[in-house]
Structure 1
């Protein structure tokens, strides 16, 4: 495993994903009682999807070509959390996402990040679970569809997005609880 701190292609992809976050936030900003236009929804949807797809490529490149770095390991999960949480927060004012759903996701991400920090100070590594990966997939699809919002090819994007988001919220809670118990199990092994 290459532990260099220099920028490499996977880390650059992660940084590009981070740079898309303020653009997504600005595009989803709704002043007062205005609705996000169809064209702005399409542009934001395309940008969000492109950003989430880079997550697949940066991890693959880093592992396949042995370009895993400490910086990449720090930034990659942070980029994912910031992208999804920022988009969800911005979807509250136009009433595309209920605030309580966003609160569950944000609380879980803060909790898991805190547990990871504590685990690392104890020399523990608690690997990402399949539940967490499934949660990320469902949330990404749900948020993307909710950003799109308007009907596409006869499908109600908002309804589809809420379906995926509800599934993602269930897995958010489940994977957070799972992570906590795996953390506690590792602590008691010591």
Structure 2
């Protein structure tokens, strides 16, 4: 299952299918791609360790089937502290998952923040992914979300299996934010949705 690349039933979502949770500084098309400029200070976090609540990340969301999966591809060409991009699953302000690649402490790291009232954060450094194309996939089924990621056409790696309230309607799609600086521009290449993954492994 680790090399799963979606299924033939996955469908490309037009960028216009989603609604922004918080408006970016700029959004423009470039061929089939979407270029998103983040607002300085944009972020998503609730309470844990830092003591603050931030809910200003730029997430382009549309309803996701339950069970169902969402996949987002973007270029990892950013290198400033806490720059990040990937995907979001969101039920409400206190119930969400963000997964992708965040630049922290001198290197890009793949990981996920799972928020059920309070946030947690799991990361793993992936310095070899810098400057390459990343795909993040989240599959929701039952009481869990499974997050996988890969670079270019390499096999998917398991990032996280996390609890998520069963039966809760949610929206999903690409996101980015720039907690510490202005000028982050993320090139999103693709956004698809489809059936949930058939198995964990």
TM-score (norm 2): 0.28
Higher helix fraction (1 or 2)? 1
TM-score (norm 1): 0.29
- Computing the radius of gyration from Cα coordinates, the structure with the larger value is 1
Q: Which has the higher contact order (CA 8 A, sep 6+)?
A: 2
